[in-house]
Chains A and B, each alone.
Chain A
Amino acid sequence: MRTALILLLMIALASVAGSLLPQWPNTPERVMRYRADHPVWGTFLDRAGLFDVFGSWWFVLLTTLLFVSLVACLVPRTRALWRAVRTPPMQAREIDAFPRYAQVAVAADPDQAIDAARWVLRRRRFRVARDPSRPALAGEKGLAREIGSLGFHWALILLLTGVIYGKGTGFSGLIAVVEGQTWVDAEANYDGTIRAGRFFDGGFTGTGLRLREFRSDFQRTGQPMDFVSRVDLLDPDGSVIRREDIRVNHPARIEGLWIHQSSFGWAPVIEVTDGGEVAASGPVVMDRDPAPEGVVEFAMPWRGVVKLPGAGTDGLDRAIELELWPDSRALTALLAEQEPQAMLVEFDPIIRFSVWEGALTDLSTNRLDTTGLDEVSSGIVGAGRTADLADGAALAAGDAGSGATISFTELRQYSVFQVGRDAGVPLVLAAAILVLVGLLPALYSSRRKVWVRADPDGDGSLLRVGGLAMQRKPQFEEEFDRLVGALVSSAGGRRAPDPGAGGPGPDQREPEEHEKVQTP
């Protein structure tokens, strides 16, 4: 037990470090900042795994050692408990040596007194064993303490098993779905890489999700009130299984997948034409600029890019950088008064765009690396309007301009979901409940034993009761006193002192017994 406790303490200390230092899985940007601020020290900490404490090899080692030592401790205790449950309570030779002891002369004869005592103890839920050789019995109560304690500790092991199984075979990833679009569960359809467990079998369900509508509500103060993604959950064949509203705190579950609301953003539908033909068309998922200190994040514009390889002049690549202001009043306010203003609702959205030409290095990301590119034009286009890419001028409906145009057809929202699978959840939950259930008797129950012996004495018997409590000794004193009272009254009550016998008093121990101090 001592080893397990020391290991537990070391895990707690490691956790302190893990909570004070930024961690890669939780706050990667803070780790990078820390490493930039402290180059040498940061590298050392990173090598030591202190930026990923809970995933480091030594944390895994500590946990493994803890559970090995726990099992090593639990197996013999469980065996001993098993034996204790199966064997009747042990008889005692010297009853008067126990911490609690009483002797009373009672009216019933020894066998009757013991039969009555057996009944009294049984009613108080003691396990009782009668001594075959003489009128005596042994009783025991409170095995629940050890059962609960062992249940608690085994449940901890079960819990860890559930965690390892669930994390090992599960995965988690992020998806961005634009209003009106359908997403299908397949590896390629996740944003970036998924976080998969070591034993993840690569199985994706093919079930789908169509985002019908996303809504966000804010208070006037800018505090968010509610985010809802109204979705259709789809079978692999495309038929709708059911409609659901996914909110924070209200995930959808389908085919073992958990789908959680994670974040949201804007996705303007853009159509680019070149020489009168459509070169690109569809929603552009945008990212919001990080807010500087003291500015609310909702005041920042959103950025996206349309990349058109080979679409520029002389076969150069072309990229159109987009800066969206979903509420154009915020841009006006910023330009006029230098005052950032939160954009909580859609209001005359506008896009500022700039056209770049040159050689694109990266076609996949949402970001534009402008090295090797030259800006050829820029302009502004409002929702439902079209602008000329050559000079940025607004075009009236039907005007083809230079032939290269950009249209901001409509503004939609996209919703980001966290999609994951963890088959260990039910096991972990069951283990957690078992932990709690085991804890209660382990803490509040106490193990105690009593022994009763009746020896012939005058025309009745001398009842001797010994008691021993492993825990909660003060409470046991009172329980023992009440028990003796019940034993005496069930054995015909106290017997009047026998005047002729000259023996000891009715309920006092014999004087010479004071000298006979025995220890068990």
Chain B
Amino acid sequence: MTDLQWARISNDAFNVALFAYIAAMVGYFAHLAFKRDAIWQISRAVAVAGVVANIVSIVARGFAADRVPWGNMYEYSSLLALLVVIGALVVVEGVYKVRSLTGFALMFSVLTMAVAVSFLYVGPGPLVPALNSYWIKIHVQAAIWGSSLFALGGIATIAYLVVDRAERRKLDALGSKDRPPIMGGALDLDADADADAPADLVPDPAEDVETRPAKRRLVPSAAGLDRLAYRIIALAFPIWTFAVIAGAVWAQEAWGRYWGWDPKETWSFITWVIFAGYLHARATNGWKGRRAAFIALVGFASLLVTYYVVNLWIVGLHSYAK
């Protein structure tokens, strides 16, 4: 096939993926509203079809341009959208059995792809010399994986804050005296309450299996979402650290200095610092729960700045990555 045909396949598959994600997103929200398992299964199948189309689009793009298909913002966005959906399906739904976040992850991917196709589209072409290095495989991949996981962590954090607020309202309405202390974290039952719970509340290992709830709730508790967000961010953080280090190694090779406070370097550092602050806050009493969640949200915003604002509006050495 010619490069032109590959390019056409890539663009068509991109549109298919985008529409599949939109349909799946609507389906997942319908599942949240009507709680019907059949809707979930159909939505999931549509999302998987979208993932396949997205992969086809990216691979075809690679053939059309004869290089790695993550050399500009359009391609990076496509891959980011793909990894966020895969992360939602495999990590959040698969490993942690939480279905309620997938619709929001799809929404993130739909927005990312819509922005990419409307404002960032460029035809397939060769890389500028500055990008032509094997480090593009290492540094950019790590950056995309880290970003997609941070995005999922951000989505889980927003969900946590919403559910936490709802739980607090409910407790207020009940006039309960068991209100968790303000800023003292959500009903983090298993994380902290255990420490000072009387020993007899702790179930005997033999009983443990039977007493566990057979079915998980559709929307997890605030504490569960908080933990989920933390785990995803704790997974993303070392990947992001690696991406920054790999970027520095590449900078030494391409520009003769490993760090020069270029806007991209600066913002990736800012994002790193904010999430490092989040991880520390999680380990500090009085900062758990909502306060830490707000730090994670700031980190999420900083990630978006690192990607969009730095590339599009700030002049620097990464400006060619448009």
Contact = CB atoms under 8 A, between A and B. Distances in A.
A19 B310 contact: yes
Contact of B314 (A9, A19, A96): A19
B126 A219 contact: yes
A53 B196 CA distance: 48
Contacts of B128: 223-224
Contact of A98 (B133, B199, B241, B284): B199
Interface residues of A, number: 71
Interface string B307-319: 0001000111000
B197 A99 contact: yes
Nearest to B263: A19
A440 B197 CA distance: 31
Nearest to B244: A432
* Majority secondary structure, B binding face: helix
Interface stretch (B15-23, B149-157, B213-221, B274-282): B274-282
B130 A26 contact: no
Contacts of B32: none
Interface residues of B, number: 60
A30 B314 CA distance: 12
Contacts of B190: 473-474, 477
B252 interface: yes
A219 B126 CA distance: 9
Contacts of B254: 248-249, 260
Contacts of B273: 8-9, 11-12, 15
B237 A443 contact: yes
A1 interface: yes
A63 to B, nearest CB: 12
Interface string B194-233: 1111111010111010000000000000000001000000
B316 to A, nearest CB: 7
A482 B115 CA distance: 50
A436 B242 contact: yes
B248 interface: yes
Interface stretch (B38-46, B102-110, B161-169, B264-272): B264-272
A140 interface: no
A16 B191 contact: no
Interface in B228-264: 234, 237-238, 241-242, 245, 248-250, 252-263
B256 A172 contact: yes
Contacts of B316: 26
A425 B258 contact: yes
Contacts of B266: 15-16, 18-19
12 contacts: A8-B273, A8-B277, A12-B274, A101-B202, A102-B205, A226-B132, A249-B135, A249-B250, A428-B258, A436-B241, A474-B190, A477-B208
